[in-house]
Structure 1
Amino acid sequence: MNQNFAKLATAAAITTSLFVSNIFAQETSKAEDPAFKLTGNVQAQAIKAVYDNDADNTLDNSFLRANVGGKYASDNFEAVINLRIFSPVFGNKNVTDVTTDEKGKVKVTKTAQDKISADTYYAKYIWNLAFGNFSAQFGRFRTDWSVAGNFGTYVDPHLSKRGFLARDYQHDAIAVGFDKGISSFSLLLGTYDNKFDTGYLRAEETLKLGDAKISAAYRGNVLDPVQHTAEVTHRFAGRASYYFLKNLGVYGEVAYIYTGDDENLSVDNAIKPEYAQGTEYVPFFVGIEIPTAGFLNSFYAELEYISNRDELQADADEIAWTVSLIKKIGKRSKIQLSAYSEKEVSDVAIAARFTATVQ
């Protein structure tokens, strides 16, 4: 089955369930105020190194894409679908069609195709109980601690991913959550190949203490060794933030990441670990959000340190930095601009993303 067709079929099925759930909720509960709305935006992004990186004197990276979907929300049910659409020429995604005419002559044609991916889709059920709020969620969704979106969330992306909005990722997962007072807990099983014979366990606890927020999380690929030979990478992380005033706050994160070294990974069914066997890393970053008297909506500065970063990215410095700003333009548009270091502290790149919301 064509992969895009399968994803679109899944999205269509969930869309249908959203409308059905909407009708059911309206008929069975007058206390709720359910709503279904279409969502969408158009995004353009460009990245350019301002140092000599031996590239052509053009943009180092750019894209133009659209996001379209829908969101349903009520007191006890929530569902979201977002499809990400790129232009036909993005990534040179062509479909080759081979045909034979009546004389037996073979004809090969290539047609550019839109690249459509099911970016986010999930259904979440919520029960408001006397002793707290319990939830169950399944689908593909994000869990992200980052404020500015450049560093952090070390329990999820690989440490080699860094730079402008580098923490843009999703989980294919089944999750449960429990909220009570200042506490919010979640536990999920995520998969790599949609079979759930490989994957990971992720647990997270967040405490909201007035203007401060503290989070701790663990993730380990504990599903991998069930039917395969695999090493488990244990990821522990803690994050804290405190805001003195609106747009004036500090935040940071520290993690410990360790990969075992007890298995022979040369056998046929072995799973290659994300990090080399026997390695350990203690990354951390600190950030500050600074007010700009209303000129900008947000302004961030961040500094990150990862020992032995060159093991993850050849010739990379252990220290990295970024400065980011966000400016809204009217009610439906915003621009995000960052200057950040690439492999070396002195290797400065500039990145910009413009988002226009259409609904």
Structure 2
Amino acid sequence: MDETDGVAVVKPRIFEWHKTVWDSLIHRQDRLPHAILFHGPTGSGKKEFAEAFAMHLLCEAPSSNGEACGVCNGCNWFLQGHHPDFRKILPPAEMATDEDADVSKRSGLWISIEAIRELESFVQLTSHRSGRKVVFLPMADRLNVAAANALLKTLEEPPNNVVFVLVCEQLSRLLPTIRSRCQKVALPPPDREDALAWLSVEKTLDASVLDLAGGMPLQAIKYRQMPEYDHLNGVLDWLVNPLMQGKDPVRMAAEWSKINLSILHDWLSKWLYDLIMGCSGNIPRYFSSRHQDIFDLTAKLSLSGLITLSSSVAEDKRILNHPLNTKLVLENWLLGYYALIAKSQRSVS
């Protein structure tokens, strides 16, 4: 951690489970391509790795292991966000403050063609520090179609001494032509034992939070810090027994309507996935603390009914960023789940 104008700034981290990939990149420092695409699942640490690599490219006195020194002029400017040879491109919504009410919820999610066109003069100018220039897109899968095509033109005729550092979660979200012009570097998550060991040092979290995060330690920390997490056990209690008196789906939708809809969608999707796994004779993945409840439920449930409901809920992911009535969407999910459980109870009786 460094102090810049009295404000603490933190160097981007390289996590233990990515050290092998880091060493491989640093050892071919003189043969780097003009564009590198880092990809990996949410919460695995890929954005931190990519930012650390971007900082390394601009550091004027890197350490023996290739990490940025954190104290040279290049590093200080980078950490302040003012390096003249660095550009970071994000969707408007990611840069907006609470006062930026003019950033629309929908259009602000995507990187526009204007943002890419503004790079043209930057990449053509001579470096201020007589070294590399770096363009960093930590959310490259948020390029809209026009922006992606504009970036492609630059990648097809790359300027000298400019390195593009892109990050995405799913390669399929990027144009195939962009992917083909980048060197792809996979950043895998740690295995479960390493993730738990890291979490035990970094944060006090139990294994159930890591499982909910799909084994991704950074996502586990994020989940645990969400205020909505305090509602998780109540939501799971209802999903285990939605037929309890006084807890009908309409009432529960009203109670939960203040919880972020995307978070509820995430929980319900993962719960249905675990039920499908249990119904198929497999071990549930996300809700390790509820294994017995899951197995008790799946003994009665229809696999085809679960798959149908899961597919319907998954389809609704595309509407989560649109203005909508949260309570009505929730009612639809919970009524579908309630009907599935009620049908299984009738078939047993």
TM-score by length of 2: 0.25
Give TM-score scaled by structure 1 length: 0.24
